[in-house]
Chain A
Amino acid sequence: MSVVVDGPAIRLVGHCPVEDAEPLLVALQEDAGRVVHLGELEGAHFAVVQILLLCCPALEGFPKDLFLKNLVLPILGASASEQINADP
């Protein structure tokens, strides 16, 4: 399991595949105040990133993966810039 729930903390470890979206969501639904630690994160499916974007938990640490760190991390926590219209 790459989603490790440890009391008030959730650690994302290694590569988080699509299946991890569910346990991550459940952990955040149980306690929205949990802090998600990204320091051991090496890769994540968009489904997992989407949970972080929708639930907006407090984040800590920097992902090891440069794409996540440089391009994805800046948008995590920030509010989305626009809304999808019915037809792009």
Chain B
Amino acid sequence: MTVEEAAPTAGGTRRGVPRHVACVMDGNGRWAAARSLPRTSGHQAAETTVIDVIEAARAAGVRWLSLYAFSTENWQRPSGEVDFLMRLVRRVVRKHAALLHARGIRCRFLGVADPRIPAPLARDFADLTTLTGTNRGMTLTVAFDHGGRRDIVEAARSLIRSGLPADAVDERHFAAHLPFPDTPDVDLVIRTSGEQRISNFMLWQVAYAEWIFPPVLWPDFRAPHFLECLHAYRRRDRRFGGVTPR
């Protein structure tokens, strides 16, 4: 853990760069529809944005970046689209694996529990995690087949199994049973396309997050938009329920 990471986020003063930024990548379908293209081409166009945002976040000094790629609810989409997404993600992971590693980015995948995930894709996820596991640059968490409630239920289950007496359970203990317990709280969530919902995303970790809803659709989202969001975040007062000290 670097000094920078160890610095507390709580405080209520105006902040510099957020430590942990999460993006809900929304608007691929609408982007495609606006161009009379199939929904799948919206997903395809999202690839460029993903790489752009990762690069922008890294350059801006963000230590933790989380991307919401696929939710537990997304399985309800038409099977053709799901299949396409699986193949696309696999291609993207393989295409950029070496680059991500070279950039010193530690990648990991949150969720990935459903048996419907093709085995080769799960293998690639595991490989990328292994490959970049020792990197000390930015940590990129890709939420794939993720559900915030499911994580909390899983944590509760694991907590009960650990046999900790009920009175001893506090937030810290609980958080230690969540997947990737080293992940710090999310400071800033960016949800593109103007939609204003949480959609079951990292529920525990977004408790005190600032939310920004840029109207731009995800495939059009670029590094300047991202930096704008960081800038907006810096202008906000974060009080964590307290009052701003004078």
Q: Are A and B bound to each other?
A: no
